[in-house]
Structure 1
């Protein structure tokens, strides 16, 4: 019924099966099928004890049957290895697998014997399984054909411990669908429109309007080097030297949107080199790593020497290692030397 405050309180619970799953694998030397062994307890082999569902179990293996009637067969059973006050219900499955090598040296386990799932009640120190699990000679032949010296007895079991009550999980919280952030789009539009711009940069005769607060927040070096009073001319325009207009345009776009402009493949390599140098100059570490990563993907015979020189100059360790790895291949070195002979002037300028 509604509470005194008028709010409705809801709760739920559930009765669920209390059960635990487990698996035990007993690896067996295949020679146990080849040598003469007696029938019955004289040949009994056991797995180490294992715990599932709060109870201790082990697997019994008879390489020549657990009694005279099943001589010539392998007997396998699951044993509850403790006394219990009440029967324990178990779902279990017994099988035999062998590890074989497939293509590309990948190991896989192949089923040799598989039995259907059994449901039994164990009453303490009791075993259930199969006396005639598999014919001894047939199993040995299967193992030998796969050129392995062992097989594995596998037991998958689910121990049922009755039922228990648990609180049902609360209903999923209703939430509004939140779209991805579009801050970068708005800042990009702000840069493109020039609204509220309070600084103008001149780069090789081309002017760019921007906002001091945005650039200053992105890089202390930009704030000190480009926005200081010493960097302006008489008209208050900031003069930028040593940077190409296209590079400065891309630098501004990154500062506002955290992304680089899309450019043609032919133009991208040169732009990323220039941006790498500019990012190093203005201490934009993320931009520097982005450019370094892009240049690693475009190293070829014609660019490797120039890229290596730039990587060494700017301490770009990953880019340098990528260039050296490229040059470690004799075919690439021969191609670089041939290119240098065909275009000596361009290569000397790139050094």
Structure 2
């Protein structure tokens, strides 16, 4: 991959924190030649006595992404604060950045995904892509552990239990001020919590057309179990446990629709990721319809790549979801057919897409 793209690094600041500016040279060639999900690696650099590298992914679907990766063979449990930002032509930070504290478990660890992403089209339209190059700055601070005694720390801070408190708050029903009726069942909740987590609930409960506290809000076209899971996520930022894997996949499909309806984006992405990881010939047609109808670009791409296999495509045609796919999303079938045609048949692809 090195012939497609080159990464050079220079120290731009050094104290307890080290800052590196990574110049990524050869954007357009890398975009064209490097496969989706493949990376280019920077030269190693040292911070806090540990070696690190930057992995640059020219395309993860429609994103340009960089990750910080621990590269020391004997390092374990390295705790670091990391910040990424895009630099303009004068070397000044562009406002958006990532700043978080992560534990890098060992060699090859990315600290649970410490990275920076920008949409390809946003980068290409920006003034920061200059002469086929752009620059990412990475600030790394390795945290030193202080232990006063041989037996360990003086103070151990427990993990956050905010989610448990909010979950108990929902279960208790204390202070609820809005009631929903869903599939014949009623649910009580707190307007402020719902509004904080969903812009749709915020508009419904606090906007110009807000419902009064005395109104029973009807939710149509949704099962009670799905609304229960939606409320659980809104209050706890987690999904309820499912008893069987099959139930988990079905629930993810219904929850994805609910998450899109109420614009709960993190829940939508969690459901989308779960469906991507459970694709098979029986579910791919239904998942492809969901992806098209609810603008799930990652799930759609996963389905189309799955169906690029002739055996998977043939088996999908025999599934119950195929008829639904044909009737509800014929444009997706055209896109699939166009993808399957050899590259040299561009005219045929254009004809298929124009039908």
TM-score of the two chains, using structure 2 as the length reference: 0.46
TM-score of the two chains, using structure 1 as the length reference: 0.47
Larger radius of gyration: 1
**Larger relative contact order (CA 8 Å, sep ≥ 6):** 1
